[in-house]
Amino acid sequence: MKSIRNLPSLVRDKFIAAQKGGDLTFYQTQVSILQCHGVPFQVRFSPALANKPKSNRPRAPKEKFFDPFADPAPGLLITDLPSHFLVLNKFPVIPDHFILATKEFKEQTHLLEEDDIGAAYECLKAYRENGEELFGFFNSGEHSGASQPHRHIQFLPVESMRSGMKTGEEWNVLADGLAKNPELPFAYFWSALPENPTSQQLHDIYRSLHDKAVRATDDSLHVSTAENDSPISYNLGFTDRSMVVCPRTLEGPMIKSSKGESIGPVSLNGTLLAGTLLVKSEAEWDTLHNDESKLSDVLGSIGISSIKSNARI
């Protein structure tokens, strides 16, 4: 595979150039730390999320859609790998948010292949070798927060995810913290990763976690799938040390404000496995802050009961 050892600086330099050149629009966010059963979660507020383009609606036969990964804009293209592109997110709310997308169109609902997992791990490893941390996530299915049908895995540098936090606030990537088996209101399936794993080992771990998530999900919630499709919606989260799959049954719930008004929905994607939520409105932001129990309600509604979770392999 093409060397990406200098990936952190490559991403940073490209992000700065793209921002100056108008190729991406970066939206600042407010951030605070809320607790769910003693586990810290970041909550970020960005009004821009309400206007972020989405392309995950069902498509009629032969219907055309805009595919941002079919021919990446030069201003967003970081580098290309044998079977994937690395591109910047065009509408980031976290600095240096980048994406690994397949060169050939492949469905986001299909199970990941070995070369997807292998290329993703090379990105994670490149950050670790430069003394930095990277979090990757994959959204698959209608309830997962997926926004593009062209297969892609997203990455957020952990240091960038700490931007905006107040001095003294504590927060770490949830995926790695799941080694301690914390009590959470949603089911997840977790595994530590071996040192210097092969792409085959990584793919085997991913398939094992996914299979456990499928078996734990009610058959009535399974969708009729084409060959290679996942029968469930799910999020995959991973670092260079751990991997976790969370089965999803809802993208996000409505919540009640202190005045009894319905607000939302509060939509979640794979960043929840980093311990991060992004909210679109000030009403959502205020409601979660006024009553931290609402966070547990949100997290408990998007998947299956944690009682069904066999949390590790």
pLDDT digits over 10-62, tens only?
999 999 999 999 999 999 899 999 999 999 999 999 876 566 555 444 445 44
What does the DSSP assignment read for 73-97?
A: -TTTEEEE-SSEEEEE-SS-SSTT-
How far is C-alpha 97 from the geometric centre of its chain's CA atoms? 11
Give residue for tokens 């970066």. Answer: 26
What integer pLDDT is reported at residue 219 of this predicted model?
85
Domains and CATH numbers, the chain: 7-49+76-220+229-308 (3.30.428.70)
Extract long-range pairs of 49-57: CB within 8 Å, 24+ residues apart.
Answer: 49/93, 49/278, 49/279, 49/280, 50/280, 50/281, 52/91, 52/147, 53/91, 53/147, 54/147, 55/147, 55/148, 55/149, 56/142, 56/146, 56/147, 56/148, 56/149
pTM of the entire predicted model: 0.92
The residue whose two tokens read 């970020």 is 44
Which residues of the chain register pLDDT less than 70?
1-3, 48-64, 224, 307-313
pLDDT of residue 309: 55
* pLDDT of amino acid 15: 98
Q: What pLDDT sits at residue 310?
A: 47
